[in-house]
């Protein structure tokens, strides 16, 4: 790939990724406002997020094939243009049905932006400079979710929810101009062979990944397998994955290149990126949820808890980009896992009146570990991938991170709910006059506050205290689960060949 200067391309590609990732968290904050303005229920409004995620998940793994078939620059520009136009029309929506359809189109366009952008960076830079290029890309991908809730809350409070989508229009227009001017891909049309479309593969991708995304996004809300829809979609997804693997493995020109998984570094990097998304986004979901449910924070205030960690990553990523080609990837990933796991385990010390700075400190400590994970795992995945397979590799790596995140958020929300049910049943067992501890606690309340805590008043206060403790314990249990799960990733590093990003197996 030829270009004016790869260091001019890197920030432009990063802004495109930032815009796409930011749109998910910003729109999520605006859901209550969307529901109220379009006369829909809160449950119905969540389909605007589900439709986006489903089409995003379907397009992402096939973006490598689409880039090869239509040309990477053309495909990338088409995705940005589609995302921009869909954003404009989303802001002009007059009813929920129209918004859901347009969000699906926006998600499909966004699904090709991240893999294509990362593939462009990997091919534009020589191996010894890819660390810094990936650092610029990583700052956009990781920082966007950190500030998304704050930006979304400020926009919807200051203006209205439609500006959440309108703000993408000038950015998208500028990106189309800059990429068209800066990015040159000689011979791209010659490489775009006239291959037959793998329609069966596309259908299996849509069935497997689309069904799974709906299950993950709606499962907890619909009580998982108590819902017939969730059960049928789970079966459909499982069957789709089995046939997808069988079909794509033997196809001459597969729409998803699963043969890359034969390469040890890539396959281990794929699994680590899946686990990275699971652990990071799952644990990231917990801290704002904790602040909102137990401490009464608004979405904007909860988002501010994550912002300091995001700012720290902006500082650390360039440093990681400089050392990723000099330090053994196994050491960097191991350090990141231990720090992230320790930070999440430290969060089990949270309590009901925990100060804002303690919440932010926990997330900031975790951010230190994230800096040692994202870049090294990406570098590991691309370390032995041929240049003509970068499109396919980028599609699979980005798919692993996104789906890992979806699974992590789903598991986190389910664990919190299930542990609440467990602790509720255990605590209620002791809230009766035959329990000496209960009588002592009631006597303590009466002595401390007098008649205001007798009779119905006392029972109401005990019920409120018990509910707070149930929710608190459920979050602490979930923090503990993710802390241990982080540390359980360490044995995977035994499968990683020693060496830095640009070196071979023996390079250090």
Angle at 429 between CA 225 and CA 412, to 5 degrees: 35
For residue 126, give Cα distances in angstroms to 122, 306, 398, 501.
8, 34, 21, 12
**pLDDT at position 363:** 85
**pLDDT at position 477:** 92
* pLDDT tens per residue, range 126-159: 766 777 777 777 777 777 777 777 777 778 777 7
| Alpha carbons 139 and 341: distance in angstroms, whole number | 21
**pLDDT at position 150:** 74
Look at residue 188 and tell me whether its pLDDT is greater than 60.
Answer: no
Out of 57-71, 120-134, 483-497, least confident range: 120-134
Percent above pLDDT 90 for the chain: 4
Across the range 395-418, mean pLDDT stands at 84
| Alpha carbons 153 and 406: distance in angstroms, whole number | 22
Give the 3-state secondary structure of residue 126: coil
Beta bridge partners of 2: 184
Cα-Cα-Cα-Cα torsion 400, 25, 100, 90, nearest 10 degrees, comes to: -120
Inter-axis angle of helices 390-428 and 47-70, nearest 10: 160
| Alpha carbons 78 and 378: distance in angstroms, whole number | 25
**Mean pLDDT, the chain, whole residue set:** 80
In the chain, what's the furthest Cα-to-Cα distance? 86
Residue 1's pLDDT band (cuts 50, 70, 90): very low
Lookup: tokens for 48: 């605007």
* pLDDT tens per residue, range 454-471: 556 666 677 777 788 888
For residue 120, give Cα distances in angstroms to 19, 171, 236, 399.
17, 19, 34, 17
* pLDDT tens per residue, range 275-293: 888 887 787 778 888 887 8
Angle at 93 between CA 89 and CA 95, to 5 degrees: 155
* pLDDT tens per residue, range 290-317: 887 888 877 677 777 877 887 888 888 8
Inter-axis angle of helices 113-124 and 96-111, nearest 10: 20
Across the range 31-53, mean pLDDT stands at 77
Inter-axis angle of helices 211-218 and 47-70, nearest 10: 150
Out of 243-252, 325-334, 360-369, 435-444, least confident range: 435-444
Buried-exposed string 38-67: b where 16+ CB fall within 10 A, e elsewhere? bebeeebbbbbbbbbbbbbbbbbbbbbbbb
**pLDDT at position 508:** 28
**pLDDT at position 4:** 58
Domains in the chain (CATH in brackets) are: 1-190 (1.20.1250.20), 199-256 (no CATH), 262-508 (1.20.1250.20)
**pLDDT at position 335:** 92
Look at residue 340 and tell me whether its pLDDT is greater than 60.
Answer: yes
| Alpha carbons 293 and 471: distance in angstroms, whole number | 8
Across the range 354-364, mean pLDDT stands at 87
**pLDDT at position 507:** 32
364 versus 194: the higher-pLDDT residue is 364
């Amino acid at each position: 790939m030829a270009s004016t200067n790869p260091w001019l391309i890197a920030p432009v590609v990063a802004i495109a990724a930032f815009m796409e990732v930011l749109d998910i968290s910003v729109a999520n904050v605006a859901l209550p406002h969307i529901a109220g303005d379009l006369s829909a229920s809160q449950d119905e409004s969540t389909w605007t997020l589900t439709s986006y995620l489903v089409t995003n998940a379907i397009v992402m793994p096939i973006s490598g094939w689409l880039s090869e078939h239509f040309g990477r620059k053309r495909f990338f520009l088409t995705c940005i243009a589609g995302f921009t136009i869909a954003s404009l029309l989303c802001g002009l929506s007059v009813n929920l049905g129209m918004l859901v359809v347009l969000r699906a189109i926006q998600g499909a366009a966004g699904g090709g932006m991240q893999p294509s952008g990362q593939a462009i960076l990997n091919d534009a830079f020589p191996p010894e400079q890819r660390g810094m290029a990936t650092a610029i890309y990583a700052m956009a991908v990781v920082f966007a979710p950190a500030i998304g809730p704050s930006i979304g809350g400020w926009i919807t409070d200051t203006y209205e929810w439609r500006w959440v989508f309108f703000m993408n229009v000038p950015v998208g227009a500028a990106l189309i101009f800059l990429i068209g001017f800066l990015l040159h891909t000689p011979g791209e049309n010659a490489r775009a062979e006239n291959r037959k479309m793998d329609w069966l593969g596309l259908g299996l991708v849509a069935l497997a990944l689309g069904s799974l995304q709906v299950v993950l996004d709606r499962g907890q809300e619909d009580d998982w397998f108590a819902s017939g829809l969730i059960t049928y979609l789970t079966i459909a997804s499982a069957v789709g994955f089995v046939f997808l693997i069988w079909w794509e493995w033997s196809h001459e020109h597969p729409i998803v290149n699963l043969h890359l998984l034969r390469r040890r570094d890539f396959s281990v990097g794929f699994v680590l990126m899946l686990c990275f998304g699971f652990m990071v986004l799952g644990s990231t979901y917990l801290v704002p949820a904790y602040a909102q449910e137990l401490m009464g924070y608004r979405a904007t205030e909860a988002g501010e808890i994550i912002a300091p960690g995001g700012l720290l990553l902006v500082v650390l990523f360039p440093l990681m980009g400089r050392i990723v080609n000099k330090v053994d990837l196994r050491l960097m990933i191991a350090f990141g896992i231990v720090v992230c796991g320790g930070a999440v385990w430290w969060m089990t010390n949270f309590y009901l009146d925990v100060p804002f700075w303690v919440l932010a400190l926990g997330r900031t400590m975790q951010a230190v570990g994230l800096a040692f994970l994202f870049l090294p795992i990406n570098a590991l995945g691309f370390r032995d991938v041929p240049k003509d397979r970068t499109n396919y590799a980028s599609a699979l790596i980005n798919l692993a991170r996104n789906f890992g995140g979806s699974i992590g958020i789903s598991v986190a929300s389910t664990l919190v709910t299930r542990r609440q049910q467990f602790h509720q049943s255990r605590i209620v067992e002791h809230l009766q006059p035959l329990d000496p501890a209960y009588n002592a606690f009631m006597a303590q309340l009466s002595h401390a506050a007098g008649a205001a805590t007798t009779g119905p008043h006392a029972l109401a206060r005990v019920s409120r205290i018990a509910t707070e403790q149930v929710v608190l314990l459920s979050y602490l249990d979930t923090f503990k689960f993710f802390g241990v799960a982080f540390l359980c990733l360490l044995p995977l590093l035994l499968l990683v060949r020693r060496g830095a990003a640009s070196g071979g197996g023996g390079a250090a």
